[in-house]
Structure 1
Amino acid sequence: MDIFVYGTLTEPDRVAEVLDSYVYVGPATLFGLHLVEGRYPTLAPGGETGGRLLRTEEMDALDEYERVGEGLYRRVTVPLDAPDGHPDEAAVYVGDPDRLDADATWPDEGGDGSDGERNGGGSGFTDRVDRYLEREAVGVRLAP
């Protein structure tokens, strides 16, 4: 599977600590989400983020590293714009900004974030991310 990485997993030494088998496919850009800093880097609506496309079959190891089971990050799938021979989709890890102390707001269902809650906490974050990805043109483009 191809994964867009934008933080510590762009560093080969760190990836080698997490995965036994992987390859960097090349530089890539994620459109529709931008990088925000917190305890760990995460993503927020709008803009774009530069990173790398990583290929591995060891998704369980990545999920553990990103603490998906604990709700710190969640793995989502977005369209991948790449030459023939590449998958049509790439995974992206999005961290819960409340749990990461990151300045990010995921819009409510109406898209204006005006419901007075920052992210809705818990499952609210998951729902807001899903709704944003359904509405917006979020995707990864592999650099030529």
Structure 2
Amino acid sequence: MYVFVYGTLTDPGRVESVVGDGRYEFDGPATLEGLHRVEGRYPTLAPGGSVDGRLLDVDDAALERLDRYEGVDTGLYVRLGVPLADSDASVQVYVGRPDRLGLGERVEWSDGATFAVRVRTALERSNGMVHRRE
């Protein structure tokens, strides 16, 4: 399974320490269209634009550890699937809640029942997808 990483998880040493004995492999550079990076206590994404990062190929154990690292169970980040261009695959992307990350700029998401729905709506409106880069 692919995960698009754009912050601390682009560092191989950090990934190694997070996933432990889970299997992972970096699979090249990529760009996520439809969201851009914003800085805060931890980096996150906001509607519009694009962000460069890396594709990380992980097994289920590694994905579970990444979820814990990103605070998915506490609602700090949500994880959503985004289409991988020219493929039937999807790529998992972590997006942090701006109200919990002390961002340096205001981030506006569309209305929705949950944060995950608001992120999904923004991605759908912008035809968000991940493109491999060479």
TM-score, normalization: structure 1?
A: 0.82
Label 1:88 to 1:96 Cα distance change in 2 as closer, same or farther (>3 A): same
Matches within 5 A, 1:104-123: 104-109=106-111
2:14 matched to 1:5?
no
Residue 79 of structure 1 is matched in structure 2 by: 83
The range that moved more, 28-37 or 127-136, is: 127-136
Instruction: Point out the structure with max Rg over C-alpha.
Output: 1
Mark the runs of 5 or more structure 1 residues left unpaired by the alignment: 110-119
| Residues 1-144 of structure 1: pairs in structure 2 closer than 5 A | 1-19=1-19, 20=21, 21-57=23-59, 58-81=62-85, 88-102=89-103, 103-109=105-111, 124-144=114-134
Q: How many residues align?
A: 129
Q: Where in structure 2 are there 5+ consecutive unaligned residues?
A: none
RMSD: 1.8
TM-score (norm 2): 0.88
SS in 1 for 2:73: helix
Aligned mates of 1:77, 1:104 — CA distance in 2: 25
Check whether the contact 1:106–1:128 (CA below 8 A) recurs between aligned residues.
no
Give the percent of matched residue pairs that are identical in Structure 1 and Structure 2.
51
Describe the shift of the 1:56–1:104 C-alpha distance in structure 2 as closer, same or farther (beyond 3 A): farther
Letter in structure 1 aligned against 2:38: V
